[in-house]
Every structure is written in C-alpha cells, then in structure tokens.
Amino acid sequence: MIEARNLTKTFRDKKRGEIRATDDVSFLVAPGQIYGLLGANGAGKTTTLRMLATLLTPTSGSAALAGFDVAREPEKVRANVGFLAASTALYGRLTAREMITYFGRLNGMADPAIKARIKQLSAELDMDEFLDRRCDKFSTGMKQKTSIARTLVHDPAVMIFDEPTLGLDVMTARAIVKFVRDCKGRGKTVIYSTHVMSEVEKLCDTVGIIHGGKLLAEGTLPELRTRYAEQDMEEIFVKAAGVEEAA
C-alpha cells in the first residue's frame, strides 16, 4: 500500500530561484497494483519517488508505505521498499554476490538466509554464470539483473521503479517490464515512473499524468480514454498536460 497525501517539495536553486519540483501530489496504490507515473523530463517524477523512498524529506504533505509514515519511521519504510532507479548503481569493485549480500545484511538478514535468498534469486534471474564476477565488468543486462536482485533481497512489499528502462537496449528493457509484471503477480504494491507511453499502456493499472510538479490527471486506462475521447496514450498525455506541440 502506498498513500501519498498532498506531497510537495520545493528546492532552492541559485539561478532559478524556488522550484516546486512536486506540487500537492496525492494518490493511492493498492497491493497487487501497478501505478504508472507518466511525465516528461523535469516533471517531478524522481523527486516524488525519492520522497516515497525517504531519500528526500517532503516540504509539506505526507506519505505512508506499507503502513509506515515516511517522516516518522523512515527506516521502517525503507525496510519495506525496493527502490530501483536508472541512477541507483552497483559497486563496481564488488561481485554480484557481495553486492546482494551487503544489502541483505543492511536489511538485517542473517547470512544463511541471505545465502538461500541469493540461490533462489540467482535461479529466477539466471545469474549463476556471473554471480562471482565483479560488477564493473558487467554488461547492462547483467547489471540490471544484479540491481533487481539487490532490491528484492529483503522481499519488500512495495516496489518503486524510477525510469528503470532508461538507456537500456530493447531486450533488457523488455526483461525489466516482464519483471515488474511479476512483482504485481506476487501481490506487491508497485509504482513505476516513465516517459515512455507504450510502457504505461503495457503495464499500468492506474496512470497518473504529472507535469510541472502537478498531478494533472489520474485514472485507469479505459477511464482516461473515455475522459479525453482519445485512444492513443500520447494524445491523452498531450491533452491532459495541456502542452501542444509547437505548430
């Protein structure tokens, strides 16, 4: 379960002055559901998701994940969250096994439990062949699998994905999309941010269109289609965000 209530985040920037990166955003995501946060670059997706993962403190508003409030119990929130972003990298000088073990330990797991979990994840993600090799020598596909295993080691109830397919080749991106769908299948609460329309259409139960920090439209795909009288996600996005292409 994810509940975001009037989340707002302002940054002070020397050149641009005060920036409202996220502006009064509220939404609910139930277990077994994928919520898609659709927005262009700079829309406020990363800021919103970082507040959910307790990496940033909201300027105002609140959020609760798996029943824990982000402001009051940030450590409990993180213990129940797997956060995977294009910007969360691996330690290059560690092997995949060491990397996963490290995060297992930080999540308070005992070594035998971690060992069993790695065995299971490695079989599921087909990682056996490179499990004991250093991450800096990995292909992007191997890196993604290791990152996924890192987010899953403590089996969190909530998964947060921030543009996880950014910069990946088609096959790796497809594998990620399949994995996100698996998470839903296992009853996890999933929030997924992207600027790729087709991913939203393929994956999400509910879509939130974010622009300029504001959540401008929200609903299931059929709901949005009827509301904007458009079939194509891109057209819906343009209408909802109120941005027309320069003619």
Partner 1 sequence: MNWSNIFTIYRKELTDQLRDRRTLISVIVIPTFVMPLIVFGMGKVMSGVMKRAEAEVPSVAIIGGADSPGVVAELKKSPKFKIVATPEDWKERIGDKKLRLAIGLPEKFEAGLAAGAAPAVKIFHFQNDLNSGIAARAAEDFFKDLRDRTVTARLVERGLPKEIVRPFEFARENVAPPEKVGGSVFGGFVPYLVIILCFTGAMYPAMDLTAGEKERGTMETLLCAPTARVDIVMGKFLMVLTGSLSAMGLALLSMGITAMAGGAIMMGGSGATTQLGAAAKTSAASMGTIDPVGLLGVLAMTLPVAVLFSALQFTVALFAKSYKEAQSYIGPMVIVVLMPAMVGMLPGIDLNAKLALVPLLNLSLVCKEMLSGVWHWNYIAIIFGSSCLYAAVALALAVRMFKREDVIFRA
Ligand X SMILES: Nc1ncnc2c1ncn2[C@@H]1O[C@H](COP(=O)(O)OP(=O)(O)O)[C@@H](O)[C@H]1O
Binding interface with Mg ion (CB under 5 A): 46
Tell me if 39 contacts ligand X by CB under 6 A.
yes
**Is the separation of the CB atoms in 37 and 194 below 8 Å?**
yes
Angle, helices 111-125 vs 96-106, to 10°: value is 130
Residue 90 or 191 having the CB closest to partner 1 = 90
Residue 125 or 240 having the CB closest to partner 1 = 125
How far apart, in whole angstroms, are the C-alpha atoms of residue 127 and residue 101? 14
Q: Which of 8, 47, 80, 206 is the binder for ligand X (CB under 6 A)? A: 47
Query: CB under 5 to 8 A by kind: which of Mg ion, ligand X, partner 1, none does 41 bind?
Result: ligand X
Tell me if 50 contacts partner 1 by CB under 8 A.
yes
Tell me if 194 contacts ligand X by CB under 6 A.
no
Q: Which of 8, 46, 147, 165 is the binder for ligand X (CB under 6 A)? A: 46
* Strands (E) located in 90-230: 158-162, 189-194, 206-211, 214-220
Tell me if 138 contacts partner 1 by CB under 8 A.
no
Alpha carbon of 159 to those of 84, 134, 185, 225: distances in Å? 8, 26, 12, 27
Among candidate residues 108, 152, 160, 158, the one with its CA nearest the CA of residue 127: 152
How far apart, in whole angstroms, are the C-alpha atoms of residue 38 and residue 195? 6
Phi and psi torsions of 54, nearest 5°: 65, 20
Contacting range for ligand X; rule: CB under 6 A; set: 44-52, 69-77, 93-101, 224-232: 44-52
Tell me if 8 contacts ligand X by CB under 6 A.
no
Tell me the sheet residues that pair with 34: 190
> What are the helix and strand counts (H, E) for the chain?
9, 10
Residue 39 or 156 having the CB closest to ligand X = 39
Contacting range for partner 1; rule: CB under 8 A; set: 106-114, 117-125, 195-203, 227-235: 106-114
Residue 11 or 103 having the CB closest to ligand X = 11
Tell me if 150 contacts partner 1 by CB under 8 A.
yes
How far apart, in whole angstroms, are the C-alpha atoms of residue 108 and residue 86? 25
Residues that bind partner 1 (CB under 8 A): 11-13, 50, 53, 55-57, 75-79, 81-83, 85, 87-94, 98, 102-103, 105-108, 150-151
Residues that bind ligand X (CB under 6 A): 11, 13, 19, 21, 39, 41-47
